[in-house]
Amino acid sequence: MTEALTEFDIIQRFFRVAGLAAVPGQHPGIQLGIGDDCALLTVPAGQQLAMSMDMLNEGIHFPVGAAAERIAHRALAVNLSDLAAMGATPAGFTLGLSLPNADPDWLAAFSRGLRDMAQCHACPLMGGDITGSADGRIGITIQVHGLISTGSALLRSGARPGDRVMVSGRLGNAAAALPMIQGQPGSTSEPDRIQLENSYFSPEPRLDLGRRLVGRASAAIDISDGLLADLRHIARASAVRLCLRASDVPVSAVARRVAGHEHALRHALCGGDDYELAFTVPPAACDTVGLLAEELGLQITEIGEVEAGEGVLCLDEQGSPLEMASAGYEHFRS
């Protein structure tokens, strides 16, 4: 920290601010927010506290020099996405910041970005910590806290043979955005570039969908590492095999336009960072989930089935297993 702004100043000016910081009485369950040694949160009877943490490091999870507001969006969105995947409702978050210097402009923009996201998803800031960064790079750690009815969280382990595999939204944008975000020259049109960058920096955490899948889906996960890689976690945890039809995977039209058909499919299957939900649904609940798509105005696509066995199999139109690297495709992450 520079001498001009003390840690206390930073907290007061940029984090203990209206619209971002938790206000006891206004935010359900929170009795005490920023300012004491701990925040206090009451978990209502019959509910469980869902907690998840994601760390974002400059140069690994976002490019050096990315706009502070956008980094803030992404940092909170990827955390909220984990709550969505469990079917939990956000309660609040804590923030660990490691900064090379205390730049008031950067902090103001970062705070604004956090505030927008926090307000949009009713997830206020409850506390945190700030330190100087040892290596000169920005590090952001967020821990989200959410609430879920006891015993009803969507787990990775509930998929059963006969269930259908489904995915929300359209995939591939975040991976198609990467070359652009890494500063590689290209001929992408302005509207496509804007849409891809928004997908990368401001993924929409599917909280409403997650909540509505409780009691309907048998297993769920959010897509952070890539559809195939993440579904493999469900396959492992549930001790089943997931068999997908590549031609049914919803590939984003923008990704197709920018990356071409073949690459866009690869982005959708292996690219990661889309933060859509992938989930399995018992046949009896498929119709209700179909109605959910209409209600939420969100595309939900059936892409395969759960079978006995292990792993994830992805078939092409001829029914042959697709040859495709399954992980680590051009990733800006570790």
Query: Which residues here bind Mg ion, judged by CB under 5 A?
Result: 129
Backbone angles phi, psi at 57, to 5 degrees: -115, 135
Residues that bind ligand ADP (CB under 6 A): 7, 11, 15, 34-37, 95, 97, 125, 127-130
Measured from the CB atom, the residue of 24 and 186 that comes closer to ligand ADP is: 24
CB of 129: closest distance to Mg ion in angstroms? 4
Is the distance from CB of 255 to CB of 179 less than 8 angstroms? no
Tell me how many degrees the CA angle 136-140-144 measures, rounded to the nearest 5.
Answer: 170
CA pair distance 217, 281, nearest whole angstrom: 5
C-alpha span between 242 and 3 (Å, rounded)? 56
Residue 186 contacts residue 84 (beta carbons within 8 Å): no
Least distance from ligand ADP to the Cβ atom of residue 73, Å = 16
Q: How far is the CB of 91 from ligand ADP (least distance, A)?
A: 15
| Cα gap 79→216, rounded to integer Å | 23
Partnered with residue 93 across adjacent β-strands are: 125, 144
CB of 33 to ligand ADP, least distance (A): 8
Tell me how far apart the alpha carbons of residues 50 and 89 are, in angstroms, rounded to a whole number: 9
Q: Name which of 127 and 271 has its Cβ closer to ligand ADP.
A: 127
Instruction: Select from Mg ion, ligand ADP, none the partner in contact with residue 92, using the beta carbon and a kind-dependent cut-off of 5 to 8 Å.
Output: none
Q: Which is nearer to ligand ADP, 110 or 201 (CB)?
A: 110
Rg (CA), the chain: 20
Q: How far is the CB of 35 from ligand ADP (least distance, A)?
A: 5
Q: Is 97 exposed, middle or buried (0-12, 13-18, 19+ CB in 10 A)?
A: buried
Which one of Mg ion, ligand ADP, none is in contact with 279 (Cβ closer than 5 to 8 A by kind)?
A: none
For ligand ADP, give the closer residue by CB, 77 or 97.
97
Select the binding partner of residue 231 from ligand ADP, Mg ion, none (C-beta < 5 to 8 A, by kind): none
If contact means CB under 5 to 8 A according to the sort of partner, which of ligand ADP, Mg ion, none does residue 110 touch?
none
Report the largest interatomic distance among the alpha carbons of the chain, rounded to a whole angstrom: 66
For ligand ADP, the closer of residues 36 and 105 by Cβ is: 36
